[in-house]
Amino acid sequence: MDARGALGRYGEDLAARRLTEAGMRVIARNWRSGPGGEIDIVARDGDALVVCEVKTRRAGPFEHPMAAVGRGKADRLRMLAARWIADHGGPPPGGVRIDLVGVVLPRRGAPVVEHVRGVA
């Protein structure tokens, strides 16, 4: 695994921990559906299905991870959520929500993990 892949994996581990601490149950990680992309984390929040995009960045001049989900990415996440539902028996009673977890790794100190619900 290259450095970028390791950084992403570390961010996803932190995100999964944050979601679990918030009372969600992680049911899949890095779920792929053909050439259309990947869902970083699929979780349950009560009766709702949560499709979670994770963006990890080192502190510095780079774009903040929360700014990394534009219209195109949101559309792709909605399409992937629909594929997940089709592959796993239909929509859950609580509906589907798309969340974003942004992870910033400072040069020193603890990572900053932000969770935003219902971004798309």
What is the average pLDDT score of the chain?
Answer: 89
Number of domains in the chain: 1
Mean pLDDT across 10-25 = 96
C-alpha neighbours within 13 Å on the C-beta side of residue 46: 6
pTM of the model: 0.90
pLDDT at 71 over 90: no
Q: Each residue of 73-96: pLDDT tens digit?
A: 889 999 999 999 999 988 899 999
- Cα–Cα distance, 15 to 19 (Å, whole number): 6
SS3 1: coil
Q: What CATH number should be reported for the domain holding residue 112?
A: 3.40.1350.10
Domain range enclosing 43: 3-116
